[in-house]
Amino acid sequence: EADIYQTPRYLVIGTGKKITLECSQTMGHDKMYWYQQDPGMELHLIHYSYGVNSTEKGDLSSESTVSRIRTEHFPLTLESARPSHTSQYLCASFGQGPFANYGYTFGSGTRLTVV
Amino acid sequence: RKEVEQDPGPFNVPEGATVAFNCTYSNSASQSFFWYRQDCRKEPKLLMSVYSSGNEDGRFTAQLNRASQYISLLIRDSKLSDSATYLCVSRPLYGGSQGNLIFGKGTKLSVKP
């Protein structure tokens, strides 16, 4: 039973289109993250948020943008998709206090293909 | 130098073998440690947290050595279903991205019949 949801699971879209990848969590976590991962490769942090109206860029430069208007919702937007954006995008959230020992909870990911 | 370093493998072992993965971390202020498992084309899932005293969960044993700054994962009696990539993870207490988990690149395990 997933507590963090990503939609869509798969997306094939043409170059130049604007897309928004959705991520929602029902755990009340303040911290949320977006990772980009190519097949067989390592996770790269592209954005994170420590709470409402807080967004930061991650270690890997990305042309995407994020927003955090509500605690439970952390969407990622690409204004103009390009083939180089083809990848898997994983959303995660993190609880504090006693739940800190449980690490991140990841969504199932969105596999994006830009043609 | 990467903050968390792992041998990328792949480790190819027969069923029933015991396999050990090691991982080193560079931030001595790291507070928490984890092992995650990631199956092909799936999201990472928490396998176990790692405690200073060491901890065991069935066939899996995790150890932490703070003096040497390394973490290990031991898998006994390996099964075909253990085939996956194992990610070593630390959580620094201090630093620019305080509290964010730092993921290693992962070690790929392939268990053969």
SS3 content of chain B, % helix, strand, coil (to 5): 5, 55, 45
**Does the beta-carbon distance from B32 to A101 stay under 8 Å?**
yes
C-alpha distance from residue A98 to each of A39, A102, A103 (Å): 33, 8, 10
Q: Is A21 helix (H, G, I), strand (E, B) or coil?
A: strand
The per-residue pLDDT for A22 is 98
Identify the residue among A104, A110, A111 best suited for mutation to test binding to B, counting B beta carbons within 10 A and taking the highest: A104
Cα separation of A51 and A48, whole Å? 9
Average pLDDT of the segment spanning B39-66 = 92
Q: Which residues contact A39 (CB under 8 A, 6 or more apart)?
A: A88, B41
The answer to whether B27 contacts chain A (CB < 8 Å) is: no
Closest residue of chain A to B36, computed from CA coordinates: A103
The per-residue pLDDT for B110 is 97
The per-residue pLDDT for B12 is 97
pLDDT in tens, B46-59: 999 898 888 999 99
pLDDT (tens digit, 0 to 9) for every residue of chain A, 115 residues total? Answer: 568 999 999 999 999 999 999 999 998 899 999 999 999 899 999 999 999 999 999 988 889 999 999 999 999 999 999 999 999 999 999 876 555 566 889 999 999 999 9
**Does the beta-carbon distance from B46 to A39 stay under 8 Å?**
no
The per-residue pLDDT for B81 is 97
The answer to whether B89 contacts chain A (CB < 8 Å) is: yes
Q: How confident is the model at residue B92 (pLDDT cuts 50, 70, 90)?
A: confident
Within 8 A of A90 by CB-CB distance, chain B residues are 43-44
